[in-house]
Amino acid sequence: MHRARIVLLTLLLAACNGKDKPGGGKAPPALAPAPEAGEAERKAEEAAAAREARRTELLATQTGIAQRVAALEAAYKELAAANEREARDLPDPAMLRPRLSRLIQDVANEKSRLDQMEREYEELKKLAESSITGDLKTLRAERTAIEARYQEAQSGWRVALDEARAARVEESPVKRELDAVRAVKEKWFELTPAARRKTPGAQEGKAINDGLRAWLAEKPIRKEVVDKVLAQEVAPKGKTSANYDFGELDFYLLLELMEDVLDKLNIAVESKRLKGEEEKLRAIEAELDAISERIAKKMTEGGGDLEKYEDLASRLPNQRSKTADLQGALSSMRETFSRIEEARQGHLAAEEKAVAELNAAKKDLAAATAALKALD
């Protein structure tokens, strides 16, 4: 369209020039303006090409910014969801605040009580230390020595008790015989399954007797205890390990009787050692009670301030420990609140940054869109 306008203007200019010639003669063809028309046409084409290139560039920019906006929106939604999940996993400050308030009050109360006790203790300390001389110091040193002996005796009693329970006491003759009787009983059960069901035949009886006698011969104590079993008052007269028929079921009853007797004797032997250790403990406990009574009497002689000092000295460690525990719990609770607040502030900062980036990208997109509209 611009090119047609230029050509039309050129023709009109040429016509006007012909009419203005003197004498009314026909003017020669207007050839001079042709180069100007061509230059204008070229410039118009270049301008159109430049606008098209700019439009292409702006479209590409607009597409890229639109993609960045979409990505930032998706990232913001994901960040907000992650922050929400993390916030749900954190303790609820509203539920923790009553506990925090109680801890603050408890710490203040116990710290005040501790400070008061410490002041009283320091006031009484010099007086008390000057009073704790002579007999009182001697009595306390004596009690320390008795307590050391008591701990040693108690350790010995525990060892003896453990050994007795585990049957590890020094093996006595009674214990050896008891173990042998139990071994005989076990071997007899092994050799007599058929005899316990019915009266054994000659061959079965011979196999039982030969087998058991061969086993008894392996260790002298086995034969000795069997002879003692057969020598019991209820046993058949004149029987020994050499001539007794071990296929008889009565043999098991004789073994049971002997085991019961030996077991009672063994318990008595083991208890004797335990009783000795226990008696030693009780004697030392009596000494401790006596020395503690003498110390208490001496303390009373020292007056009320000395007793008060001793009372404070005994209670201060617990009060210090209690106060320290509460202070530790309070510090931990405050750290929890700090962690919750730090997480909350982190969430806000991250979301604010994401929103700022998203808004900036939207602003860039709006600018690119406006630039495109201006070309039309």
pLDDT along the chain (376 residues), means of 10: 38 42 48 64 81 85 90 90 86 85 91 91 75 66 81 65 50 81 86 64 79 90 90 88 84 85 70 64 80 74 71 89 91 88 90 91 89 81
The total number of structural domains in the chain stands at 2
Per-residue model confidence (pLDDT) at position 191: 79
In terms of domains, do 280 and 350 share one? no
Residue 332 within any structural domain of the chain: yes
Q: How far is CA 357 from CA 66, 83, 108, 353, 370, in A?
A: 13, 18, 48, 6, 20
The domain boundary residue, chosen from 261, 284, 301: 301
Per-residue model confidence (pLDDT) at position 349: 92
Residue 1 within any structural domain of the chain: no
Structure tokens at 33: 């303006």
Structure tokens at 193: 């399954």
In terms of domains, do 322 and 225 share one? no
In terms of domains, do 295 and 173 share one? yes
Q: Which of 170, 266, 177 is nearest to 220 (CA)?
A: 177
In terms of domains, do 100 and 166 share one? no
In terms of domains, do 69 and 94 share one? yes
Per-residue model confidence (pLDDT) at position 132: 57
Contacts of 281 (CB under 8 A, 6+ apart): 150, 153, 154, 157
Per-residue model confidence (pLDDT) at position 135: 67
The domain boundary residue, chosen from 301, 327, 352: 301
Contacts of 266 (CB under 8 A, 6+ apart): 172, 174, 175, 178
Distance CA 331, CA 339 (A): 12
The domain boundary residue, chosen from 267, 301, 335: 301
Residue 59 within any structural domain of the chain: yes
Distance CA 143, CA 139 (A): 6
Per-residue model confidence (pLDDT) at position 10: 40
DSSP 299-347: HHHT-HHHHHHHHHHHHHHHHHHHHHHHHHHHHHHHHHHHHHHHHHHHH
In terms of domains, do 167 and 281 share one? yes
In terms of domains, do 365 and 271 share one? no
Residue 11 within any structural domain of the chain: no
Three-point CA angle 362, 366, 367, nearest 5°: 120
Distance CA 169, CA 269 (A): 9
In terms of domains, do 84 and 175 share one? no
Structure tokens at 343: 């997480």
Per-residue model confidence (pLDDT) at position 105: 92
In terms of domains, do 40 and 88 share one? yes
In terms of domains, do 239 and 365 share one? no
**Structural domain span for residue 211:** 158-301
Residue 179 within any structural domain of the chain: yes
In terms of domains, do 203 and 283 share one? yes
Can you list the pairs that 68-77 forms with residues at least 24 positions away whose Cβ atoms lie under 8 Å? 68/361, 69/358, 69/361, 69/362, 69/365, 72/354, 72/357, 72/358, 72/361, 73/358, 75/354, 76/351, 76/354, 76/355, 76/358
Residue 192 within any structural domain of the chain: yes
Contacts of 275 (CB under 8 A, 6+ apart): none
Residue 55 within any structural domain of the chain: yes
**Looking up tokens 């159109």, which residue turns up?**
48
Residue 141 within any structural domain of the chain: no
Per-residue model confidence (pLDDT) at position 174: 81
